[in-house]
């Protein structure tokens, strides 16, 4: 259900019912460095249905941000897509030219960056930046721009008078909300968010997450939400993807992955969050560091840190297997051996 | 020669009415930023005290006041019973600095990238334990590196910071502090910039330092869950003032201050059900030229008329558990968030 | 009773992996090798280094290249170039080639000494002002700013005009005092940006005195900027010194490229078809300036003296130039 006055501004592609809004197949992204090629994203595949909320979690260096930029076609040299496809509403974004991409950018697919203070122009008012965005995508009528700008701000809970404010006059929470409002100017089908809450305090974070979920339910867009803090998305995402060393370690319905993680890395991550309720238990975290992606290990990439590692794990790379509705990249998971608490 | 019984009765560190104001703006727009107002807290021997609060709460300023990076605007800090304002000579200052070192937040900025990681430890030893010979210093450096888990110590000591991971660098920070044989380590958000899976290792190290080395730690954080994991007591700050203080399990089980309740309700806990409750948006508090009265009243659903006029002070509401809320102090049940 | 996680189980059995990987520790030899390699790979650096090496050799061993006494007025005047006199002779019968070669020494001395002293002064004034702040900053910065704003060359002329015949030392002094301000400004700005880094605060908290922090903690991280300042100042000073000598300040009886120009001008060399007399010193001045400038560009490219975070492994490549000094400053005496 679309509400609001801005109708679909481009009728180039039409989403069929039942068709996933995004199909990523075997996407690989490589950084060409002097030390050699670093495969930051290694054959990632997933589907995203309409209005689905996918959370991608992983720690620094796992490739989640690179994956995001790869999907949005925002990679700059030395990073480049070396394989795979990104089908957005049927069209492969990797093959599109810049001008073709421009027709879907912001109108069908928008991006919310990590730090609003870096993404917003500090010398322009919020309203001016909204105007820029709308003009860049073909809307020039001042009346329409003004009405739509006020409307999206109200949607995120900001008084439209702040269209006249500069970014530094707003609090961190309000800046992030205006970024989200800007992303919703054309009611896109997919919004990609790269750690939009990491610069905020916990109360503002909670408030923003709730707001994002409400907007999603109201407007029906799909979300890819990248974060290093999986407890943040635990209540909001439909599916959860855990990334490690550029690969998908586990992918499945959120509650399944939380309640019964299959990959030893996921298990370790779940256990790395101390709880404020319930009994106090000693935790161990995951010692060691992620592998150097310029020289990844021969077999399973998690083997050097895995407490359940066997010889077989070190011999050859591990493929993703499906166990019920969860995909997991672990030789031991299939046998029901690995079981977290 | 101090009377030992007198020393034992004193808490390790005590502040009384500690206040820090900053002048901001210039010329006609002179304003005062009340970073810390009238904070009286205590830290005992062999305990980890968590100082929790959000941005603008003043927790980092407290750390810097205790580390003598800032001078207090008013109020006093007593270390082992003696006021810090009396610490003037170089030997006295060095002694305090070795008793109360600080570990910083940013693993990538807190070590000088030009020198090997041994540099900081060895300098600390040179400054604070001059009686050691060069060989003894190296041996001591190896000893503290082993304690913090950087093994093999001799080899790690010769590395440069860029060769270590974030977690390892933070351990170097703790090693530098340990080398001075401290009584109290000020840890300013030591794990917030580390990956989640690494944090536990550092938190466990802090517990180990308390248990095995007998060191107290002031753990400054915005993450209540990690505070619960390591700390014995919790102090919650809001807008430069203390909101609540007490044994951590007591405070978490029965928070008396509405702000503490708000904070706890906002902590994401995957194992708990989602409570969409608060419409509170997390707007930062006003600490520039604040008016008298409780600084949380603008966001507090339980605010009464007195909250506008009287600034609440910490009052003991149950054994060891203090809260600075007029409503709670009046005996009423506080269920704000 | 909750089942222990697989991590705890592994921990109790002592099976947890994750020991730190042995890192490569560069030795002094490796460090110098690396800086030679980076110079070699960068064409500009190589050209600049080669030129500087040639000039240095000329300055140290002029007698090996030019047999004649540069001041001796023993030859036939105003000869053109020939095998006996590569560049010909002056109106006074002096061998131009000898003058050019022997003149290298004085010019290079002026450039290097004034460059070093000027950089030294820039570092002190800039770093102290930036780090100490407050009253120190106001006073030191005020002095620097005044000297920055005053046009240097006219100031030089006025100063030198009022001093008795200054020789090389006087020239150097004047150049240093008037020329340090630009570098001081840059270093102050860089210091201000570095000042709030945690490791400096950490040094203060562990009890270091402020001057120690400036000397040992800040300066090493600014080596590339300091080197760049030196090279830039050297270029400027070569030109300024030559210019002053050309105008007749400095000691006209000494042998340097600037005085060659002075005498060439006095004897109307260009009008009397003695082109080489004017061109040779001018070209040499240009070449020396270019040598410093090329090396300067190269340092900019090899390292990143800007405020952005330095790719640390690359910073290590440059710092090894001064590593022996750091090692003495650093508390770690082993290796």
> Which residues share a beta bridge with B19?
B74
Cβ neighbors of B310 (< 8 A, separation 6 or more) are B292, B293, B294, B326
pLDDT at position C323 over 60:
no
Contact indicator for A167, A123 with CB cutoff of 8 Å: no
Q: What's the confidence (pLDDT) of residue C79?
A: 77
Is B297 within 8 Å of B308 (Cβ atoms)?
A: yes
Query: For residue range A266-305, what is the model confidence (pLDDT) as tens digits?
Result: 998 888 888 888 888 888 888 888 888 888 888 899 998 8
Is B21's pLDDT higher than 50?
yes
pLDDT for the residue C38 = 63
pLDDT at C202: 92
- Tokens (6 digits) for A220: 């029906």
Q: Which helix (H) or strand (E) holds C121?
A: helix C96-132
B-C contacts (CB, under 8 Å): 107
- The whole-angstrom separation of Cα B278 and Cα B275 is 8
Task: Answer yes or no: pTM beyond 0.90.
Answer: no
- Helix spans in chain A (H): 64-71, 98-104, 116-119, 126-136, 142-155, 172-183, 202-219, 230-233, 254-259, 264-271, 311-315
What backbone phi and psi angles, to 5 degrees, belong to C308? -65, 160
**Structural Rg of chain B based on CA atoms:** 21
Q: How far apart are CA C329 and CA A108, in angstroms?
A: 59
Which position has the token pair 């500087």? Answer: C52
A86 pLDDT band (50/70/90 cuts)?
Answer: very high
Contact criterion met (CB below 8 Å) for B240 and B314: no
Burial class (CB in 10 A: 0-12, 13-18, 19+), A261: buried
Separation CA A253–CA A52 (nearest Å): 11
Q: What's the pLDDT at A334?
A: 65
User: Which residue in A296, A307, A257, A297 sits closest to A58, CA to CA?
Assistant: A257
* C-alpha of C44 from chain center: 16
Indicate the SS3 state at residue A248: strand
Segment B156-174 shows an average pLDDT of: 90
Average pLDDT over residues A240-260: 92
Under an 8 A CB cutoff, do B180 and C206 touch? yes
pLDDT tens for residues C272-289? 888 888 888 889 888 988
Nearest CA to B13 among B35, B53, B37, B46?
B46
- Other C-beta atoms closer than 10 Å to the C-beta of C2 total 8
CB contacts under 8 A, C 281-320 vs B, are 310, 312-313, 315-316, 319
Average pLDDT (A76-81) is 86
Contacts (Cβ under 8 Å, ≥6 apart) of B278: A203, A206, A207, B262, B265, B266, B337
* B-interface mutation test, from C7, C193, C202, C219, most B Cβ less than 10 A away: C202
Q: Do C16 and A282 touch (CB under 8 A)?
A: no
Per-residue pLDDT at C61? 86
- Cα C179 from Cα C239, distance rounded (Å): 12
- What does the alpha-carbon distance between residue C309 and residue C216 come to, in Å, rounded to a whole number? 19
> What is the residue whose two structure tokens read 């030191």?
C140
Tell me the C-alpha distance between A240 and A221, whole Å.
Answer: 17
With bands split at pLDDT 50, 70 and 90, how would you rate the model's confidence at B156? very high
Where on the phi/psi map is residue C122: left (φ > 0), alpha (ψ -120 to 50), or beta? Answer: alpha
Mean of pLDDT values over B74-87: 92
pLDDT digits (tens, 9 = 90+) for C93-139: 788 888 888 888 888 888 899 999 999 999 988 888 888 888 888 89
Could you give the CA distance from residue C37 to residue C55 in angstroms, rounded to a whole number?
A: 22
Percent of chain B whose pLDDT exceeds 70: 94
Phi and psi angles of residue A3, each rounded to the nearest 5 degrees, phi first: -110, 170
ipTM greater than 0.90: no
Residues of A in Cβ contact (< 8 Å) with B165: 289
Is C20 within 8 Å of B104 when comparing Cβ atoms? no
Give just the sign of the alpha carbon dihedral A64, A67, A71, A72: positive
* Beta carbons of B252 and A201 less than 8 Å apart: no
Q: From B42, B80, B40, B39, select the one nearest B57 (Cα to Cα).
A: B39
Per-residue pLDDT band for C24 (boundaries 50, 70, 90) equals: very low
Between A132 and C22, the more confident residue is A132
Q: Could you read off the pLDDT of B35-66 as tens digits, one per residue?
A: 999 999 999 999 999 999 988 889 999 999 99
Q: What is the mean pLDDT of residues C149-168?
A: 76
> Could you tell me the pLDDT band of residue C25, with boundaries at 50, 70 and 90?
very low
A274 touches chain B (CB under 8 A): yes
CB contact under 8 A, C18 and A282: no
Q: How far apart are CA A71 and CA A250, in angstroms?
A: 19
Nearest C-alpha neighbor of A182 from the set A69, A73, A115, A106: A106
Residue among C60, C125, C56, C331 nearest C212 (CA): C331
Mutate to test the interface with C, among B100, B104, B115 (most CBs of C within 10 A): B115
Q: Which CATH class is domain C27-61+95-311?
A: mainly alpha
Cα separation, C205 vs B89, in Å, equals 16
Q: Which of C22, C198, C332 sits opposite B106 (nearest CB)?
A: C198
Domain positions in chain C are 27-61+95-311
Chain C residue with the nearest C-alpha to that of B107: C198
Higher pLDDT, C1 or C57: C57
Contact present, C235 and C175 (Cβ < 8 Å): no
B114 contacts C221? CB cut-off 8 A: yes
- In sequence order, what are the residues at sequence separation of 6 or more whose Cβ sits closer than 8 angstroms to the Cβ of residue C274? C78, C88, C90, C91, C264, C267
Chains contacting C (3+ CB pairs below 8 angstroms): A, B
Q: Average pLDDT for residues B180-199, to the nearest whole number?
A: 91
Is pLDDT above 60 for B287? yes
Whether residue B60 contacts residue B188, with contact meaning beta carbons closer than 8 Å, is answered with: yes
Which member of B225, B270, B282 has the closest CB to residue A258? B270
CB-CB neighbours of A33 under 10 Å: 11
The answer on pLDDT for C14 being more than 70 is no
> Among all chains, which residue has been given the structure tokens 């120690």?
C212
Judged by a CB distance cut-off of 8 A, whether residue C207 touches chain B is yes
Q: Tell me: pLDDT of A239 over 90.
A: yes
* Residue where the block lists tokens 């009265």: B293
Give CA–CA dist C50/C57, Å, rounded.
Answer: 11
Output b/e per residue, C244-273; b: 16+ Cβ within 10 A: bbbbebbbeebbbbbbbbbbbeebebeeee
> What's the average model confidence in pLDDT over A182-199?
90
Nearest CB to A274; choose among B228, B268, B282? B228
Contact by Cβ (8 Å): A151, A126: no
Contact B204/A at CB under 8 A: yes
Q: How far is CA B244 from CA B86, B187, B259, in A?
A: 30, 20, 9
Candidates B228, B269, B283; nearest CB to A231: B269
Q: Which residues of B touch A270 (CB under 8 A)?
A: 270
Structure tokens at A107: 């109108």
Q: Report yes or no: C318 and C303 within 8 Å, Cβ to Cβ.
A: yes
pLDDT exceeds cutoff 80 at C58: yes
d(CA C81, CA B27): 71
What 3-state class would DSSP assign to A92? Answer: strand
């Amino acid at each position: 259900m679309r509400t609001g006055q801005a109708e679909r501004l481009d009728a180039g592609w039409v989403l069929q019912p039942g068709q996933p809004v995004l199909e990523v197949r075997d996407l690989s992204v490589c950084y060409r460095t002097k030390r050699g090629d670093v495969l930051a994203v290694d054959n990632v595949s997933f589907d995203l249905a309409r209005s689905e909320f996918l959370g991608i979690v992983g720690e620094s260096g796992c490739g989640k941000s690179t994956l995001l930029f790869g999907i949005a076609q925002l990679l700059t040299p030395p990073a480049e897509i070396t394989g795979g496809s990104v089908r957005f509403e049927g069209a492969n974004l990797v093959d599109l030219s810049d001008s073709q991409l421009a027709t879907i950018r912001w109108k069908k697919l928008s991006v919310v960056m990590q730090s609003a203070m870096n993404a917003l122009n500090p010398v322009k008012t919020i309203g001016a930046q909204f105007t820029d965005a709308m003009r860049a995508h073909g809307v020039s009528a001042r009346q329409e721009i003004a009405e739509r700008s006020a409307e999206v701000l109200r949607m995120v809970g900001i008084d439209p008078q702040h269209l006249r404010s500069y970014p530094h006059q707003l609090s961190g929470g309000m800046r992030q909300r205006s970024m989200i409002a800007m992303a919703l100017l054309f009611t896109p089908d997919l919004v990609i968010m790269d750690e939009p809450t990491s610069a905020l305090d916990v109360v503002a974070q909670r408030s923003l997450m709730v707001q994002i979920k409400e907007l999603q339910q109201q407007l029906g867009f799909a979300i890819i939400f990248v974060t290093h803090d999986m407890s943040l998305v635990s209540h909001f995402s439909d599916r959860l993807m855990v990334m490690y060393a550029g690969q998908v370690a586990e992918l499945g319905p959120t509650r399944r992955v939380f309640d019964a993680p299959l990959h030893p890395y996921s298990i370790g991550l779940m256990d790395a969050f101390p709880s404020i309720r319930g009994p106090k238990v000693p935790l161990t975290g995951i010692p060691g560091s992620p592998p150097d992606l310029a020289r990844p290990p021969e077999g399973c990439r998690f083997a050097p840190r895995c407490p359940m590692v066997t010889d077989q794990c070190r011999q050859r790379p591990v493929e993703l297997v499906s166990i019920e509705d969860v995909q997991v990249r672990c030789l031991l998971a299939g046998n029901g051996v690995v079981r977290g608490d | 020669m101090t009377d030992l019984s007198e020393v034992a009765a004193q808490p390790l560190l005590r502040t009384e009415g500690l206040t820090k104001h900053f002048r901001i703006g210039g010329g006609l727009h002179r304003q005062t930023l009340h970073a810390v107002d009238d904070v009286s807290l205590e830290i005992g021997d062999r305990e980890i005290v968590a100082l929790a609060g959000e941005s603008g709460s003043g927790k980092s300023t407290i750390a810097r006041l205790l580390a003598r990076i800032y001078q207090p605007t008013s109020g006093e800090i007593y270390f082992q019973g003696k006021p810090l304002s009396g610490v003037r000579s170089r030997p006295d200052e060095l002694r305090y600095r070795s008793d109360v070192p600080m570990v910083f937040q940013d693993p990538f900025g807190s070590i000088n990238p030009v020198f090997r990681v041994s540099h900081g430890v060895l300098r600390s030893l040179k400054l604070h334990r001059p009686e050691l010979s060069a060989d003894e210093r190296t041996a001591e450096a190896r000893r503290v590196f082993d304690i913090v888990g950087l093994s093999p110590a001799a080899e790690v000591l010769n590395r440069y910071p860029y060769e270590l991971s974030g977690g390892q660098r933070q351990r170097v920070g703790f090693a530098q502090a340990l080398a001075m044989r401290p009584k109290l380590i000020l840890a300013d958000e030591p794990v917030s910039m580390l990956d989640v899976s690494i944090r536990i290792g550092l938190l466990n190290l802090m517990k180990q330092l308390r248990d095995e080395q007998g060191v107290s730690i002031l753990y400054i954080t915005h993450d209540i869950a990690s505070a619960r994991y390591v700390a014995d007591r919790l102090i919650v700050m809001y807008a430069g003032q203390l909101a609540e203080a007490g044994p951590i399990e007591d405070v978490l089980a029965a928070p008396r201050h509405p702000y503490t309740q708000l904070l706890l309700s906002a902590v994401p806990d995957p194992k708990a059900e989602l409570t969409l409750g608060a419409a509170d948006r997390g707007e930062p508090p006003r600490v520039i030229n604040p008016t008298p009265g409780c600084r949380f009243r603008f966001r507090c659903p339980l605010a009464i008329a007195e909250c506008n006029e009287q600034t609440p002070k910490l009052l003991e509401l149950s054994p060891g558990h203090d809260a600075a809320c007029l409503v709670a102090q009046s005996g009423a049940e506080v269920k704000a968030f | 009773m909750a089942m222990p996680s697989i991590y705890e189980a592994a921990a109790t059995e002592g099976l947890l992996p994750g020991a730190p990987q042995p890192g490569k520790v560069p030795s002094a030899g490796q460090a110098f090798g690396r800086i030679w390699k980076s110079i070699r790979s960068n064409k500009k650096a190589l050209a600049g280094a080669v030129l500087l090496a040639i000039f240095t050799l000329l300055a140290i061993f002029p007698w090996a290249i030019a047999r004649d006494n540069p001041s001796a007025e023993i030859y036939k005047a105003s000869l053109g170039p020939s095998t006996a006199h590569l560049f010909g002779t002056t109106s006074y019968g002096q061998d131009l080639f000898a003058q050019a070669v022997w003149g290298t020494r004085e010019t290079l001395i002026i450039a290097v000494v004034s460059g070093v002293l000027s950089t030294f002064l820039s570092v002190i004034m800039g770093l102290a002002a930036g780090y100490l702040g407050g009253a120190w900053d106001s006073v030191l910065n005020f002095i620097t700013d005044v000297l920055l704003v005053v046009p240097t060359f006219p100031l030089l002329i006025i100063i030198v005009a009022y001093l008795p015949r200054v020789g090389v030392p006087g020239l150097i002094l004047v150049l240093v005092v008037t020329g340090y301000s630009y570098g001081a400004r840059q270093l102050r700005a860089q210091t201000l940006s570095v000042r709030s880094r945690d490791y400096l605060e950490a040094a203060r908290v562990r009890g270091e005195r402020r001057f120690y922090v400036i000397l040992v903690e800040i300066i090493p991280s600014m080596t590339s900027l300091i080197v760049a300042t030196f090279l830039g100042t050297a270029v400027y000073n070569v030109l300024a010194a030559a210019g002053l000598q050309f105008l007749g300040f400095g000691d006209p009886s000494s042998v340097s490229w600037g005085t060659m120009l002075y005498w060439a001008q006095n004897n109307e060399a260009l009008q009397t078809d003695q082109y080489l007399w004017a061109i040779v010193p001018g070209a040499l001045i240009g070449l020396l300036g270019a040598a410093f400038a090329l090396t300067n560009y190269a340092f900019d490219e090899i390292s990143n003296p800007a405020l952005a975070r330095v790719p640390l492994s690359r910073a290590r490549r440059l710092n090894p130039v001064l590593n022996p000094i750091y090692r003495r400053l650093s508390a770690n005496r082993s290796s």
